[in-house]
Structure 1
Amino acid sequence: MTTPHLSRALLERLFVAASIRRWNDQACPIEFSELDKQAHKAMVVVLLAKHHAGVDWDKLLNYFCFEFLSRVVLTDIKPPIYYKLLEKHRMDLAAYVWGVLAPEVQGYDIFDTLQDYFCNPPKNLESQLLKAAHDYVSAWEFGFIHRFYPEGYGVQEIKAHFDTSLKGHAPLLDQVEHLELLTSMFGQLRLQKRWSQTPRVPPTSVLGHALFVAFCAFLLSFDLKACPVMRLNHFLGGLLHDLPEVLTRDIISPIKHGVKGLDSHLKTLEAEVMQEHIWRYLDADLAQDLRYFTEKEFDDRYIDPSSKKAMSLESESALWECFNKNEFNGVSGRLLKFCDQLSAFLEAKISIAHGIKSDVLVNGAKKIQQKCQSTFLQGVHLGALFGEFA
């Protein structure tokens, strides 16, 4: 029996991102958190990458993780000051970031190059896609501020900066038809709060939750010795698993499972509205690709190489024993479900630790822990993660 390398400190680091408020020196009609920004950026960069041949997805995901964690450590620095500091103190800042994060990411070799990435930023396609997504989502956020209070100090200068930067990214951004519409649609998930029936600190959105699930599933894939394509699929599966909630909102589990037949009927409705409102804006191949991550999202499954059809698996071991190879495009729905439950548990427990609790949070966390603390997958005791927060 082994336990995952995913640490309590790293899990808590992700929730710090939910507490970091962006644009806190501007008049904001709504609050923007760093976790939501990073999740939105991940959505957009996936769209951009799917429209460009030759993307190295391993590099793209590693770079995204590096930038995400680095920004959580340094994000309180105002961007213009941050970039000026980098000009003379990049090495020192890199050493600081690594000093903070190294104990939290022990056991995951992909982070061994984080400091070098910070010191010597690459100029390849993957980094260009991330920068384009970063600026595009920042400009999307800033659009609310500009429309709300265009006379604010510095607002016009910031708008001019974004206008210039987006023009520079145009060769990448223009490849995605309906990008503005899709970005705004994904952004709706930033406005939908989890556990809407009870106060929580920090409040997390559906989109922030999706990134948490994606990040955990991606890292746990290394513990489970998943092949590279399956690792990628776990990130995409986590990120996209709640995408239908753009159109249905968050229907809580007691209602889904407490009303006979509702869950299966909801799946039918989700498929219909997704086709009408999202898939029709994508080319057929991309829509089929992304549909794989939103339908039967918690099934173990693979894609048959000959028929190109998605095949669900009942046996818990079949995926790992027979289809843990790149050519099968496997996804462990069981892993994604576990990460979904882990996220819900931590949303409750961290709020309780902050002193904001209710019977809903206390009972919810207890029920999830009892259900998941004995979870094993591939001989790895995933449920041990719950014990870290006992």
Structure 2
Amino acid sequence: MTAASLVARCAHGLESALSAEILHRGLGVITHLGHREIHFRSRGPGAVAPRTADDVFLLAGRRPDPGTARRDVASLARLAVEADLDTLTELRRGHGGPAGVAGIEVSASFLGGRNFNRYDVEDAVGSVLARRLGVGYHSRRTGEAPPPGHTGWRVTLDGVWATLMLRIGERPLHRRCYKRRTVPGTLHPPLAAAMARMAGIRPGHTVLDPCCGAGTLLAEAGEQAPRAVLYGFDLALSAVRAARENTAGLGVVVGRADAGRLPLADGSVDRVLSNPPWGGQVTALGLLAASPSRWWAELRRVLAPDGTAVVLLPGLDELPLGLRHGLVPVHVQGVRVSGAQTFLVRLTAPTRRRRTRA
């Protein structure tokens, strides 16, 4: 089997994290970095599932972006006409995807203003793919989910290229099997995976999420570092129940506690991963409702010397509180979450200096 040309899609701002994971895990050779996507060539057959990716596709074809006029949408059907469907089917099976095709569904997106909508693009390409494969086409215009077994295709228009891609898996990678329950403000799994990778968790590390919600950060940390010791706390009983169900079998200890008064000893935590309740979707409870600075004080108290915290913040105005409590920001990067700009921040706790005798 020849090496496949693959495209991994991700949230805007996670392109560097995704490319680093692809290289670190030896998943392939990167050939192009673009807006929300990384192009790479696989090293051979086998499953390709980077955890920081929303999804992974086989590159099926590219043509020049037709522009903004509605009359030019029909030309996108050439992507479906020119695609080598037999080779794509073989490559998909070789990379862990299903062999059969029960139907076709297409998702499209584009940059910039257009005189057409995404459904026009999807229908122009999807109807041709379905006809060539002899199966049904499910249009997203209806707003209904496609029937089980339908193969996912994607079309992107970036102002230069129109690209057609075939999803490798039966469903998008960001839909984790462990995510059986959600709560308001639950974190996007690939973003949680990027935070866990940024923390540099090693075997034996004690890892804490003081506002664990549905446990997504802990689940991703457990998948990446199965020999770490994982703790999660939340004051909301619904969150504790969801986190316990989502992290079942991963050895995570989940309990009910106030993030402003954690049941952990001073300096006992090597890594903190957290999406604190400052973004609006979740209201701060308990001690944090009266004094948000308590969150930073507790984080600093439990974090070991040279420990690392990776947190997701809606803005950078919170960082002075971290600095005030002795935490040092060493990395900041912007990432879009549900269309809103947020910031991934890595902070470290300074090493305690030993006292010397005069």
Q: TM-score range by the shorter chain?
A: 0.3 to 0.5
Q: Name the structure with the higher helix share.
A: 1
Larger RCO, structures 1/2 (Cα 8 Å, 6+ apart): 1
TM-score (norm 1): 0.31
TM-score (norm 2): 0.33
The structure having more radius of gyration, on CA atoms, is 2
